[in-house]
Structure 1
Protein backbone atom coordinates (compact mmCIF):
# COMPACT_ATOMS: atom_id res chain seq x y z
CA UNK A 1 0.00 0.00 0.00
CA UNK A 2 1.37 3.41 -0.95
CA UNK A 3 2.37 5.90 1.72
CA UNK A 4 -0.35 8.32 0.61
CA UNK A 5 -2.99 5.61 0.99
CA UNK A 6 -1.72 4.80 4.45
CA UNK A 7 -1.85 8.48 5.34
CA UNK A 8 -5.47 8.78 4.16
CA UNK A 9 -6.43 5.65 6.05
CA UNK A 10 -4.87 7.03 9.23
CA UNK A 11 -6.73 10.31 8.70
CA UNK A 12 -10.05 8.50 8.35
CA UNK A 13 -9.48 6.34 11.43
CA UNK A 14 -8.45 9.35 13.53
CA UNK A 15 -11.49 11.31 12.38
CA UNK A 16 -13.77 8.40 13.32
CA UNK A 17 -12.04 8.17 16.70
CA UNK A 18 -12.65 11.89 17.22
CA UNK A 19 -16.31 11.50 16.31
CA UNK A 20 -16.69 8.66 18.80
CA UNK A 21 -14.92 10.61 21.55
CA UNK A 22 -17.12 13.67 21.00
CA UNK A 23 -20.25 11.51 21.00
CA UNK A 24 -19.47 9.77 24.29
CA UNK A 25 -18.53 13.16 25.78
CA UNK A 26 -21.86 14.63 24.67
CA UNK A 27 -23.57 11.70 26.44
CA UNK A 28 -21.60 12.48 29.65
CA UNK A 29 -19.70 9.20 29.67
CA UNK A 30 -16.36 11.03 29.99
CA UNK A 31 -17.41 13.23 32.93
CA UNK A 32 -15.83 10.97 35.61
CA UNK A 33 -12.48 11.23 33.81
CA UNK A 34 -12.51 15.02 33.39
CA UNK A 35 -11.26 16.39 36.71
CA UNK A 36 -10.29 19.94 35.72
CA UNK A 37 -12.39 23.01 36.48
CA UNK A 38 -13.05 23.77 32.83
CA UNK A 39 -14.94 20.50 32.34
CA UNK A 40 -17.87 21.74 34.41
CA UNK A 41 -17.59 25.25 32.97
CA UNK A 42 -17.76 24.18 29.30
CA UNK A 43 -20.00 21.13 29.76
CA UNK A 44 -23.21 22.91 28.75
CA UNK A 45 -21.71 25.21 26.12
CA UNK A 46 -23.71 25.16 22.90
CA UNK A 47 -24.06 26.98 19.60
CA UNK A 48 -27.56 27.44 18.19
CA UNK A 49 -28.82 24.99 20.76
CA UNK A 50 -26.35 22.26 19.80
CA UNK A 51 -23.70 21.02 22.22
CA UNK A 52 -20.13 21.68 21.13
CA UNK A 53 -19.47 17.96 21.53
CA UNK A 54 -22.25 17.03 19.08
CA UNK A 55 -20.95 19.65 16.67
CA UNK A 56 -17.51 18.12 17.04
CA UNK A 57 -18.86 14.61 16.45
CA UNK A 58 -20.59 15.74 13.26
CA UNK A 59 -17.48 17.58 12.10
CA UNK A 60 -15.18 14.61 12.65
CA UNK A 61 -17.63 12.27 10.89
CA UNK A 62 -17.89 14.67 7.93
CA UNK A 63 -14.08 14.74 7.67
CA UNK A 64 -13.98 10.92 7.68
CA UNK A 65 -16.54 10.77 4.86
CA UNK A 66 -14.89 13.50 2.77
CA UNK A 67 -11.40 11.99 3.02
CA UNK A 68 -12.80 8.53 2.31
CA UNK A 69 -14.63 9.60 -0.85
CA UNK A 70 -11.88 12.10 -1.72
CA UNK A 71 -9.50 9.24 -2.52
CA UNK A 72 -11.30 8.95 -5.87
CA UNK A 73 -12.59 12.51 -6.32
CA UNK A 74 -9.89 15.22 -6.10
CA UNK A 75 -12.51 17.97 -5.68
CA UNK A 76 -13.83 16.36 -2.52
CA UNK A 77 -10.27 15.91 -1.26
CA UNK A 78 -9.71 19.66 -1.56
CA UNK A 79 -13.04 20.25 0.15
CA UNK A 80 -11.93 17.95 2.96
CA UNK A 81 -8.71 19.96 3.39
CA UNK A 82 -10.67 23.21 3.58
CA UNK A 83 -13.07 21.70 6.13
CA UNK A 84 -10.18 20.44 8.24
CA UNK A 85 -8.51 23.87 8.13
CA UNK A 86 -11.80 25.48 9.19
CA UNK A 87 -12.13 22.99 12.05
CA UNK A 88 -8.60 23.83 13.21
CA UNK A 89 -9.33 27.56 13.05
CA UNK A 90 -12.51 27.11 15.09
CA UNK A 91 -10.71 24.90 17.58
CA UNK A 92 -7.91 27.46 17.84
CA UNK A 93 -10.45 30.01 19.07
CA UNK A 94 -11.70 27.54 21.69
CA UNK A 95 -8.11 26.77 22.74
CA UNK A 96 -7.46 30.48 23.15
CA UNK A 97 -10.45 30.69 25.51
CA UNK A 98 -9.10 27.72 27.50
CA UNK A 99 -5.64 29.28 27.68
CA UNK A 100 -6.91 32.47 29.35
CA UNK A 101 -9.62 30.92 31.56
CA UNK A 102 -9.55 27.42 33.05
CA UNK A 103 -8.33 24.15 31.51
CA UNK A 104 -10.68 21.40 30.28
CA UNK A 105 -9.02 17.99 30.04
CA UNK A 106 -11.49 16.30 27.67
CA UNK A 107 -11.53 19.40 25.44
CA UNK A 108 -7.76 19.12 25.10
CA UNK A 109 -7.96 15.41 24.31
CA UNK A 110 -10.47 16.13 21.54
CA UNK A 111 -8.21 18.92 20.27
CA UNK A 112 -5.24 16.54 20.26
CA UNK A 113 -7.18 14.06 18.11
CA UNK A 114 -8.03 16.88 15.70
CA UNK A 115 -4.38 17.91 15.52
CA UNK A 116 -3.32 14.30 14.89
CA UNK A 117 -5.91 14.10 12.12
CA UNK A 118 -4.37 17.16 10.47
CA UNK A 119 -0.86 15.74 10.82
CA UNK A 120 -1.98 12.55 9.11
CA UNK A 121 -3.85 14.36 6.33
CA UNK A 122 -1.21 16.93 5.44
CA UNK A 123 2.28 15.71 4.55
CA UNK A 124 5.41 17.69 5.38
CA UNK A 125 5.74 20.67 3.08
CA UNK A 126 2.01 21.06 2.55
CA UNK A 127 0.77 24.63 2.59
CA UNK A 128 -1.96 23.55 5.01
CA UNK A 129 0.69 22.97 7.67
CA UNK A 130 0.78 26.73 8.29
CA UNK A 131 -2.70 26.51 9.78
CA UNK A 132 -1.52 23.64 11.95
CA UNK A 133 1.40 25.69 13.31
CA UNK A 134 -0.90 28.45 14.58
CA UNK A 135 -3.21 25.85 16.11
CA UNK A 136 -0.25 24.10 17.78
CA UNK A 137 0.85 27.32 19.50
CA UNK A 138 -2.58 27.81 21.09
CA UNK A 139 -2.76 24.12 21.97
CA UNK A 140 0.57 24.39 23.80
CA UNK A 141 -0.69 27.45 25.71
CA UNK A 142 -3.81 25.53 26.78
CA UNK A 143 -1.75 22.52 27.89
CA UNK A 144 0.40 24.89 29.96
CA UNK A 145 -2.80 26.13 31.58
CA UNK A 146 -3.68 22.53 32.39
CA UNK A 147 -0.37 22.17 34.18
CA UNK A 148 -0.98 25.34 36.19
CA UNK A 149 -4.42 24.15 37.15
CA UNK A 150 -3.00 20.86 38.39
CA UNK A 151 -0.69 22.60 40.87
CA UNK A 152 -2.34 23.35 44.21
CA UNK A 153 -0.81 25.41 47.01
CA UNK A 154 0.41 23.48 50.06
CA UNK A 155 -0.50 24.90 53.50
CA UNK A 156 1.38 24.34 56.75
CA UNK A 157 -1.67 22.51 58.07
CA UNK A 158 -4.87 21.66 56.24
CA UNK A 159 -7.80 24.00 56.96
CA UNK A 160 -11.15 22.96 55.43
CA UNK A 161 -12.59 25.85 53.39
CA UNK A 162 -10.35 28.54 54.91
CA UNK A 163 -11.78 32.04 55.14
CA UNK A 164 -8.27 33.50 54.85
CA UNK A 165 -5.23 32.28 52.93
CA UNK A 166 -1.94 33.97 53.77
CA UNK A 167 1.26 33.37 51.74
CA UNK A 168 4.41 34.34 53.65
CA UNK A 169 8.19 34.08 53.54
CA UNK A 170 9.72 33.50 57.00
CA UNK A 171 12.39 36.22 56.82
CA UNK A 172 10.19 38.87 55.21
CA UNK A 173 9.55 41.68 57.76
CA UNK A 174 6.09 42.44 56.36
CA UNK A 175 5.25 38.73 56.53
CA UNK A 176 6.26 38.64 60.19
CA UNK A 177 3.95 41.58 60.90
CA UNK A 178 1.08 39.90 59.06
CA UNK A 179 1.52 36.59 60.88
CA UNK A 180 1.76 38.20 64.31
CA UNK A 181 -1.34 40.29 63.65
CA UNK A 182 -3.28 37.18 62.75
CA UNK A 183 -1.94 35.41 65.83
CA UNK A 184 -3.35 38.30 67.84
CA UNK A 185 -6.76 37.56 66.31
CA UNK A 186 -7.18 34.06 67.69
CA UNK A 187 -10.79 33.90 66.52
CA UNK A 188 -9.37 33.89 62.98
CA UNK A 189 -6.50 31.48 63.52
CA UNK A 190 -8.54 28.33 62.99
CA UNK A 191 -9.99 29.76 59.76
CA UNK A 192 -6.66 30.79 58.25
CA UNK A 193 -4.45 28.64 56.04
CA UNK A 194 -0.77 29.64 56.00
CA UNK A 195 1.31 28.96 52.88
CA UNK A 196 5.11 29.33 53.34
CA UNK A 197 7.51 30.29 50.56
CA UNK A 198 11.28 29.83 50.85
CA UNK A 199 13.18 32.85 49.56
CA UNK A 200 16.62 32.26 51.08
CA UNK A 201 18.65 29.47 52.66
CA UNK A 202 17.53 30.76 56.07
CA UNK A 203 13.91 30.37 54.94
CA UNK A 204 14.62 26.77 54.01
CA UNK A 205 16.13 26.08 57.45
CA UNK A 206 13.07 27.59 59.10
CA UNK A 207 10.72 25.51 56.99
CA UNK A 208 12.66 22.37 57.87
CA UNK A 209 12.41 23.30 61.56
CA UNK A 210 8.70 23.94 61.04
CA UNK A 211 8.30 20.48 59.52
CA UNK A 212 10.10 18.91 62.49
CA UNK A 213 7.83 20.79 64.90
CA UNK A 214 4.77 19.58 63.05
CA UNK A 215 6.02 16.01 63.36
CA UNK A 216 6.36 16.56 67.12
CA UNK A 217 2.75 17.75 67.33
CA UNK A 218 3.45 21.27 68.60
CA UNK A 219 0.63 23.88 68.49
CA UNK A 220 0.27 25.84 65.27
CA UNK A 221 0.58 29.21 67.03
CA UNK A 222 3.93 28.19 68.52
CA UNK A 223 5.16 26.94 65.15
CA UNK A 224 4.15 30.18 63.43
CA UNK A 225 5.89 32.37 66.02
CA UNK A 226 9.08 30.35 65.60
CA UNK A 227 8.76 30.52 61.82
CA UNK A 228 8.84 34.32 61.73
CA UNK A 229 11.00 34.92 64.80
CA UNK A 230 13.92 37.37 64.66
CA UNK A 231 16.41 34.74 65.79
CA UNK A 232 18.05 32.49 63.21
CA UNK A 233 16.67 29.00 62.89
CA UNK A 234 18.73 26.12 64.30
CA UNK A 235 20.12 23.50 61.95
CA UNK A 236 17.70 20.60 61.98
CA UNK A 237 18.76 17.17 60.71
CA UNK A 238 16.69 16.56 57.59
CA UNK A 239 16.54 13.77 55.07
CA UNK A 240 16.59 14.28 51.32
CA UNK A 241 12.87 13.47 51.29
CA UNK A 242 12.18 16.26 53.81
CA UNK A 243 14.19 18.76 51.76
CA UNK A 244 12.35 17.72 48.61
CA UNK A 245 9.02 18.08 50.40
CA UNK A 246 9.89 21.61 51.50
CA UNK A 247 11.07 22.53 48.00
CA UNK A 248 7.84 21.22 46.42
CA UNK A 249 5.73 23.07 49.02
CA UNK A 250 7.53 26.34 48.34
CA UNK A 251 7.40 25.95 44.57
CA UNK A 252 3.66 25.14 44.55
CA UNK A 253 2.95 28.17 46.71
CA UNK A 254 5.07 30.42 44.48
CA UNK A 255 3.15 29.24 41.43
CA UNK A 256 -0.17 29.89 43.19
CA UNK A 257 0.82 33.47 44.03
CA UNK A 258 2.18 34.14 40.56
CA UNK A 259 -0.97 32.68 39.01
CA UNK A 260 -3.00 35.06 41.19
CA UNK A 261 -1.15 38.02 39.67
CA UNK A 262 1.38 38.88 42.38
CA UNK A 263 5.15 38.57 42.69
CA UNK A 264 5.53 39.56 46.32
CA UNK A 265 4.64 38.30 49.77
CA UNK A 266 2.82 38.61 52.05
CA UNK A 267 -0.16 37.86 49.87
CA UNK A 268 -3.63 37.45 51.35
CA UNK A 269 -6.70 35.92 49.80
CA UNK A 270 -9.97 36.29 51.66
CA UNK A 271 -13.48 35.05 51.06
CA UNK A 272 -16.37 37.43 51.64
CA UNK A 273 -16.92 36.00 55.14
CA UNK A 274 -13.19 36.17 55.86
CA UNK A 275 -12.98 39.81 54.83
CA UNK A 276 -15.91 40.75 57.06
CA UNK A 277 -14.27 39.03 60.02
CA UNK A 278 -10.91 40.58 59.24
CA UNK A 279 -12.36 44.08 59.12
CA UNK A 280 -14.47 43.60 62.23
CA UNK A 281 -13.12 44.59 65.67
CA UNK A 282 -11.19 41.89 67.53
CA UNK A 283 -13.16 39.68 69.89
CA UNK A 284 -12.17 40.92 73.38
CA UNK A 285 -12.05 37.46 74.89
CA UNK A 286 -9.80 36.20 72.12
CA UNK A 287 -7.40 39.12 71.96
CA UNK A 288 -4.25 38.25 73.84
CA UNK A 289 -5.33 34.62 74.31
CA UNK A 290 -2.15 33.47 72.61
CA UNK A 291 0.75 33.92 75.05
CA UNK A 292 3.37 36.23 73.65
CA UNK A 293 1.24 37.40 70.71
CA UNK A 294 1.06 41.19 70.41
CA UNK A 295 -2.29 42.93 70.54
CA UNK A 296 -2.26 44.71 67.20
CA UNK A 297 -5.18 45.86 65.06
CA UNK A 298 -5.73 44.39 61.60
CA UNK A 299 -6.79 47.41 59.54
CA UNK A 300 -7.24 47.08 55.81
CA UNK A 301 -4.23 47.76 53.64
CA UNK A 302 -1.47 47.61 56.26
CA UNK A 303 1.15 45.10 55.23
CA UNK A 304 -0.98 43.11 52.79
CA UNK A 305 -4.01 43.39 50.54
CA UNK A 306 -7.61 42.39 51.16
CA UNK A 307 -8.69 40.97 47.82
CA UNK A 308 -12.10 39.65 48.91
CA UNK A 309 -13.66 37.57 46.20
CA UNK A 310 -11.10 38.79 43.67
CA UNK A 311 -7.39 37.95 43.73
CA UNK A 312 -5.25 41.07 43.73
CA UNK A 313 -1.51 41.45 44.36
CA UNK A 314 -0.04 42.65 47.60
CA UNK A 315 1.27 46.21 47.82
CA UNK A 316 4.83 46.91 46.65
CA UNK A 317 6.32 46.97 50.18
CA UNK A 318 6.32 43.17 50.27
CA UNK A 319 9.28 40.90 49.51
CA UNK A 320 10.01 39.54 46.05
CA UNK A 321 10.47 35.85 45.38
CA UNK A 322 13.97 35.99 43.97
CA UNK A 323 16.80 35.72 46.49
CA UNK A 324 18.41 38.90 45.22
CA UNK A 325 15.17 40.86 45.61
CA UNK A 326 15.42 42.93 48.81
CA UNK A 327 12.58 43.64 51.22
CA UNK A 328 11.54 47.22 51.78
Structure 2
Protein backbone atom coordinates (compact mmCIF):
# COMPACT_ATOMS: atom_id res chain seq x y z
CA UNK A 1 0.00 0.00 0.00
CA UNK A 2 2.77 2.43 0.97
CA UNK A 3 4.58 1.68 -2.30
CA UNK A 4 1.48 2.68 -4.25
CA UNK A 5 1.21 5.92 -2.28
CA UNK A 6 4.88 6.71 -2.93
CA UNK A 7 4.48 5.98 -6.65
CA UNK A 8 1.43 8.24 -6.74
CA UNK A 9 3.30 11.10 -5.11
CA UNK A 10 6.29 10.62 -7.42
CA UNK A 11 4.14 10.63 -10.57
CA UNK A 12 1.80 13.45 -9.55
CA UNK A 13 4.34 16.17 -8.87
CA UNK A 14 4.06 15.73 -5.08
CA UNK A 15 7.39 13.99 -4.68
CA UNK A 16 8.17 16.08 -1.57
CA UNK A 17 5.51 14.02 0.29
CA UNK A 18 7.13 10.68 -0.54
CA UNK A 19 9.87 10.96 2.17
CA UNK A 20 7.15 11.30 4.84
CA UNK A 21 5.67 7.95 3.78
CA UNK A 22 9.12 6.34 3.70
CA UNK A 23 9.88 7.79 7.13
CA UNK A 24 6.64 6.32 8.50
CA UNK A 25 7.75 2.94 7.09
CA UNK A 26 11.10 3.26 8.85
CA UNK A 27 12.96 3.23 5.54
CA UNK A 28 16.37 4.80 6.32
CA UNK A 29 15.08 7.57 8.67
CA UNK A 30 18.26 9.66 8.54
CA UNK A 31 18.20 9.92 4.77
CA UNK A 32 14.45 10.72 4.73
CA UNK A 33 14.83 13.48 7.34
CA UNK A 34 17.68 14.98 5.30
CA UNK A 35 15.53 14.83 2.14
CA UNK A 36 12.58 16.44 3.93
CA UNK A 37 14.79 19.25 5.20
CA UNK A 38 16.20 19.93 1.73
CA UNK A 39 12.88 19.74 -0.14
CA UNK A 40 10.62 21.36 2.46
CA UNK A 41 12.60 22.77 5.36
CA UNK A 42 14.91 25.05 3.37
CA UNK A 43 12.08 26.58 1.27
CA UNK A 44 10.04 27.19 4.44
CA UNK A 45 12.99 28.91 6.13
CA UNK A 46 13.53 31.06 3.03
CA UNK A 47 9.83 31.97 2.94
CA UNK A 48 9.88 32.85 6.66
CA UNK A 49 12.88 35.14 6.06
CA UNK A 50 11.04 36.75 3.15
CA UNK A 51 8.03 37.45 5.41
CA UNK A 52 10.31 38.83 8.13
CA UNK A 53 12.11 41.29 5.83
CA UNK A 54 8.82 42.22 4.15
CA UNK A 55 7.26 43.05 7.52
CA UNK A 56 10.40 44.90 8.62
CA UNK A 57 10.65 47.08 5.51
CA UNK A 58 6.94 47.62 4.76
CA UNK A 59 6.35 49.95 7.72
CA UNK A 60 9.17 52.22 6.50
CA UNK A 61 7.66 52.82 3.05
CA UNK A 62 5.09 55.62 2.92
CA UNK A 63 2.86 56.07 -0.12
CA UNK A 64 0.01 58.42 -1.03
CA UNK A 65 -2.38 55.78 0.35
CA UNK A 66 -0.46 55.22 3.58
CA UNK A 67 2.21 52.76 4.63
CA UNK A 68 2.95 49.73 2.53
CA UNK A 69 0.98 46.82 4.02
CA UNK A 70 2.87 44.04 5.76
CA UNK A 71 1.92 40.34 5.92
CA UNK A 72 -0.58 40.81 8.77
CA UNK A 73 -2.42 43.60 6.92
CA UNK A 74 -2.53 41.52 3.74
CA UNK A 75 -4.00 38.56 5.65
CA UNK A 76 -6.59 40.91 7.14
CA UNK A 77 -7.58 42.17 3.69
CA UNK A 78 -7.77 38.59 2.38
CA UNK A 79 -10.16 37.72 5.20
CA UNK A 80 -12.20 40.82 4.35
CA UNK A 81 -12.46 39.75 0.69
CA UNK A 82 -13.62 36.29 1.74
CA UNK A 83 -16.22 37.86 4.06
CA UNK A 84 -17.48 40.04 1.18
CA UNK A 85 -17.77 36.95 -1.01
CA UNK A 86 -19.76 35.12 1.65
CA UNK A 87 -22.06 38.13 2.18
CA UNK A 88 -22.68 38.43 -1.56
CA UNK A 89 -23.54 34.73 -1.84
CA UNK A 90 -25.99 35.09 1.04
CA UNK A 91 -27.64 38.00 -0.80
CA UNK A 92 -27.87 35.83 -3.93
CA UNK A 93 -29.44 32.97 -2.00
CA UNK A 94 -31.94 35.33 -0.35
CA UNK A 95 -32.80 36.81 -3.76
CA UNK A 96 -33.67 33.41 -5.25
CA UNK A 97 -35.58 32.39 -2.14
CA UNK A 98 -37.73 35.54 -2.37
CA UNK A 99 -38.28 34.89 -6.07
CA UNK A 100 -39.37 31.31 -5.44
CA UNK A 101 -41.79 32.37 -2.69
CA UNK A 102 -43.24 35.10 -4.88
CA UNK A 103 -43.74 32.75 -7.82
CA UNK A 104 -45.14 30.01 -5.58
CA UNK A 105 -47.70 32.43 -4.13
CA UNK A 106 -48.62 33.59 -7.63
CA UNK A 107 -49.14 30.01 -8.85
CA UNK A 108 -51.17 29.17 -5.74
CA UNK A 109 -53.65 31.88 -6.67
CA UNK A 110 -53.66 31.05 -10.36
CA UNK A 111 -52.03 27.78 -11.59
CA UNK A 112 -52.09 29.10 -15.15
CA UNK A 113 -50.25 32.30 -14.28
CA UNK A 114 -46.98 33.14 -16.01
CA UNK A 115 -44.06 33.41 -13.63
CA UNK A 116 -40.82 35.26 -14.27
CA UNK A 117 -37.37 34.01 -13.34
CA UNK A 118 -34.61 36.56 -13.16
CA UNK A 119 -30.91 36.03 -12.70
CA UNK A 120 -29.14 37.66 -9.78
CA UNK A 121 -27.10 40.62 -10.99
CA UNK A 122 -25.00 41.35 -7.92
CA UNK A 123 -21.43 42.55 -8.18
CA UNK A 124 -18.66 40.06 -8.87
CA UNK A 125 -16.68 39.11 -5.77
CA UNK A 126 -12.94 38.46 -5.55
CA UNK A 127 -13.40 34.69 -5.95
CA UNK A 128 -15.66 35.30 -8.95
CA UNK A 129 -12.87 37.35 -10.53
CA UNK A 130 -10.40 34.52 -9.94
CA UNK A 131 -12.73 32.02 -11.61
CA UNK A 132 -13.27 34.36 -14.57
CA UNK A 133 -9.50 34.75 -15.10
CA UNK A 134 -8.88 31.00 -14.84
CA UNK A 135 -11.69 30.19 -17.27
CA UNK A 136 -10.40 32.78 -19.75
CA UNK A 137 -6.74 31.74 -19.59
CA UNK A 138 -7.53 28.05 -20.05
CA UNK A 139 -9.73 28.85 -23.04
CA UNK A 140 -6.98 30.87 -24.69
CA UNK A 141 -4.29 28.35 -23.74
CA UNK A 142 -6.23 25.36 -25.12
CA UNK A 143 -7.01 27.25 -28.33
CA UNK A 144 -3.32 28.10 -28.75
CA UNK A 145 -2.28 24.49 -28.03
CA UNK A 146 -4.69 23.06 -30.63
CA UNK A 147 -3.16 25.40 -33.21
CA UNK A 148 0.50 25.35 -32.18
CA UNK A 149 1.11 21.62 -31.63
CA UNK A 150 -0.02 20.43 -35.12
CA UNK A 151 1.83 23.27 -36.84
CA UNK A 152 4.91 22.59 -34.72
CA UNK A 153 4.84 18.89 -35.64
CA UNK A 154 4.56 19.74 -39.35
CA UNK A 155 7.43 22.24 -39.05
CA UNK A 156 9.58 19.66 -37.26
CA UNK A 157 8.94 17.00 -39.89
CA UNK A 158 9.27 19.26 -42.93
CA UNK A 159 12.16 21.69 -43.15
CA UNK A 160 10.57 23.52 -46.09
CA UNK A 161 7.45 24.35 -44.10
CA UNK A 162 9.60 25.45 -41.16
CA UNK A 163 11.68 27.73 -43.40
CA UNK A 164 8.48 29.27 -44.78
CA UNK A 165 6.90 29.90 -41.35
CA UNK A 166 10.03 30.83 -39.38
CA UNK A 167 10.08 34.51 -40.48
CA UNK A 168 6.43 34.93 -39.42
CA UNK A 169 7.11 33.23 -36.09
CA UNK A 170 10.11 35.46 -35.39
CA UNK A 171 8.14 38.60 -36.31
CA UNK A 172 5.02 37.91 -34.24
CA UNK A 173 6.66 36.15 -31.28
CA UNK A 174 7.95 39.32 -29.54
CA UNK A 175 4.74 41.34 -30.06
CA UNK A 176 3.39 42.56 -26.73
CA UNK A 177 -0.18 41.70 -25.68
CA UNK A 178 -0.73 45.44 -25.24
CA UNK A 179 -0.17 45.80 -28.99
CA UNK A 180 -2.46 42.90 -29.88
CA UNK A 181 -5.30 43.99 -27.60
CA UNK A 182 -6.56 47.06 -29.55
CA UNK A 183 -6.52 45.11 -32.82
CA UNK A 184 -8.31 42.12 -31.29
CA UNK A 185 -10.86 44.40 -29.64
CA UNK A 186 -11.73 46.13 -32.93
CA UNK A 187 -11.87 42.88 -34.89
CA UNK A 188 -14.09 41.16 -32.31
CA UNK A 189 -16.40 44.20 -32.16
CA UNK A 190 -16.73 44.14 -35.96
CA UNK A 191 -17.05 40.38 -36.49
CA UNK A 192 -18.64 39.04 -33.31
CA UNK A 193 -22.09 40.59 -33.72
CA UNK A 194 -25.13 38.81 -32.28
CA UNK A 195 -28.36 39.74 -30.53
CA UNK A 196 -27.88 36.81 -28.17
CA UNK A 197 -24.14 36.06 -28.02
CA UNK A 198 -23.00 32.79 -26.45
CA UNK A 199 -19.97 34.50 -24.89
CA UNK A 200 -19.42 38.08 -23.76
CA UNK A 201 -17.25 40.19 -26.08
CA UNK A 202 -14.89 40.95 -23.20
CA UNK A 203 -14.30 37.21 -22.70
CA UNK A 204 -13.71 36.60 -26.43
CA UNK A 205 -11.30 39.55 -26.62
CA UNK A 206 -9.24 38.39 -23.63
CA UNK A 207 -9.19 34.74 -24.76
CA UNK A 208 -8.01 35.59 -28.28
CA UNK A 209 -5.31 37.92 -26.93
CA UNK A 210 -4.07 35.11 -24.68
CA UNK A 211 -4.14 32.71 -27.65
CA UNK A 212 -2.03 35.01 -29.81
CA UNK A 213 0.64 35.28 -27.13
CA UNK A 214 0.53 31.59 -26.08
CA UNK A 215 1.13 30.20 -29.56
CA UNK A 216 4.84 30.77 -29.95
CA UNK A 217 6.54 28.91 -27.06
CA UNK A 218 4.54 25.74 -27.78
CA UNK A 219 5.00 25.98 -31.54
CA UNK A 220 8.76 26.57 -31.34
CA UNK A 221 9.43 23.89 -28.71
CA UNK A 222 7.27 21.36 -30.56
CA UNK A 223 9.13 22.02 -33.82
CA UNK A 224 12.51 21.71 -32.08
CA UNK A 225 11.43 18.55 -30.25
CA UNK A 226 10.16 16.87 -33.41
CA UNK A 227 13.13 18.05 -35.45
CA UNK A 228 15.63 16.63 -32.96
CA UNK A 229 14.23 13.08 -32.94
CA UNK A 230 16.96 10.49 -33.35
CA UNK A 231 17.30 9.70 -37.07
CA UNK A 232 17.66 6.01 -36.23
CA UNK A 233 14.08 6.03 -34.94
CA UNK A 234 12.88 7.59 -38.18
CA UNK A 235 14.79 4.97 -40.16
CA UNK A 236 13.26 2.17 -38.07
CA UNK A 237 9.78 3.52 -38.81
CA UNK A 238 10.59 3.38 -42.51
CA UNK A 239 11.93 -0.18 -42.25
CA UNK A 240 8.74 -1.22 -40.44
CA UNK A 241 6.74 0.60 -43.12
CA UNK A 242 4.68 2.51 -40.60
CA UNK A 243 2.06 4.76 -42.14
CA UNK A 244 1.96 8.48 -41.33
CA UNK A 245 -0.43 8.12 -38.38
CA UNK A 246 1.51 5.20 -36.88
CA UNK A 247 4.78 7.09 -37.28
CA UNK A 248 3.21 10.08 -35.53
CA UNK A 249 1.79 8.14 -32.58
CA UNK A 250 4.55 5.53 -32.15
CA UNK A 251 7.67 7.58 -32.85
CA UNK A 252 7.16 11.33 -33.18
CA UNK A 253 4.92 12.18 -30.24
CA UNK A 254 6.54 9.89 -27.62
CA UNK A 255 10.00 11.19 -28.50
CA UNK A 256 9.03 14.87 -28.52
CA UNK A 257 6.74 14.88 -25.43
CA UNK A 258 9.35 16.52 -23.14
CA UNK A 259 9.90 19.47 -25.50
CA UNK A 260 6.18 19.82 -26.23
CA UNK A 261 5.40 20.06 -22.53
CA UNK A 262 8.23 22.51 -22.00
CA UNK A 263 6.52 24.70 -24.57
CA UNK A 264 3.10 24.17 -22.97
CA UNK A 265 4.41 25.13 -19.53
CA UNK A 266 6.01 28.26 -20.95
CA UNK A 267 2.84 29.10 -22.89
CA UNK A 268 0.60 28.72 -19.85
CA UNK A 269 2.88 30.98 -17.81
CA UNK A 270 2.95 33.57 -20.60
CA UNK A 271 -0.81 33.32 -21.03
CA UNK A 272 -1.43 33.93 -17.33
CA UNK A 273 0.76 37.07 -17.35
CA UNK A 274 -0.77 38.29 -20.62
CA UNK A 275 -4.30 37.85 -19.31
CA UNK A 276 -3.75 39.99 -16.22
CA UNK A 277 -2.29 42.79 -18.36
CA UNK A 278 -5.12 42.49 -20.90
CA UNK A 279 -7.79 42.62 -18.20
CA UNK A 280 -6.20 45.73 -16.69
CA UNK A 281 -5.94 47.55 -20.00
CA UNK A 282 -9.32 46.57 -21.48
CA UNK A 283 -11.17 46.57 -18.14
CA UNK A 284 -12.44 43.07 -18.81
CA UNK A 285 -13.70 41.08 -15.79
CA UNK A 286 -11.00 39.22 -13.88
CA UNK A 287 -8.09 39.68 -11.51
CA UNK A 288 -6.48 42.33 -13.71
CA UNK A 289 -9.58 44.51 -13.53
CA UNK A 290 -9.75 43.94 -9.77
CA UNK A 291 -6.18 45.27 -9.37
CA UNK A 292 -6.88 48.30 -11.56
CA UNK A 293 -10.18 49.09 -9.79
CA UNK A 294 -8.46 48.96 -6.41
CA UNK A 295 -5.67 51.20 -7.68
CA UNK A 296 -8.23 53.73 -8.95
CA UNK A 297 -10.29 53.40 -5.79
CA UNK A 298 -7.54 54.92 -3.67
CA UNK A 299 -8.92 53.81 -0.31
CA UNK A 300 -6.78 52.95 2.70
CA UNK A 301 -7.43 49.24 2.02
CA UNK A 302 -6.48 49.36 -1.66
CA UNK A 303 -2.78 48.58 -1.26
CA UNK A 304 -3.51 45.59 0.95
CA UNK A 305 -6.07 44.25 -1.53
CA UNK A 306 -3.67 44.73 -4.42
CA UNK A 307 -1.04 42.75 -2.50
CA UNK A 308 -3.61 39.98 -1.95
CA UNK A 309 -4.20 39.92 -5.71
CA UNK A 310 -0.44 39.89 -6.45
CA UNK A 311 0.11 36.91 -4.15
CA UNK A 312 -2.97 35.18 -5.59
CA UNK A 313 -1.70 35.66 -9.15
CA UNK A 314 1.70 34.27 -8.21
CA UNK A 315 0.28 31.31 -6.29
CA UNK A 316 -2.11 30.40 -9.12
CA UNK A 317 0.74 30.64 -11.62
CA UNK A 318 2.77 28.22 -9.48
CA UNK A 319 -0.17 25.79 -9.24
CA UNK A 320 -0.75 25.92 -13.01
CA UNK A 321 2.92 25.08 -13.63
CA UNK A 322 2.75 22.16 -11.17
CA UNK A 323 -0.38 20.87 -12.91
CA UNK A 324 1.40 20.91 -16.26
CA UNK A 325 4.40 19.16 -14.71
CA UNK A 326 2.14 16.47 -13.25
CA UNK A 327 0.44 15.96 -16.61
CA UNK A 328 3.83 15.70 -18.29
CA UNK A 329 4.90 12.98 -15.85
CA UNK A 330 1.67 11.13 -16.51
CA UNK A 331 1.99 11.03 -20.29
CA UNK A 332 5.78 10.86 -20.66
CA UNK A 333 7.18 7.45 -21.61
CA UNK A 334 10.34 8.04 -19.55
CA UNK A 335 9.05 7.79 -15.94
CA UNK A 336 12.58 7.99 -14.57
CA UNK A 337 13.23 11.45 -16.00
CA UNK A 338 13.76 14.16 -13.40
CA UNK A 339 11.34 16.98 -14.10
CA UNK A 340 11.31 20.27 -12.17
TM-score (structure 1 length as normaliser): 0.22
Higher helix share: 2
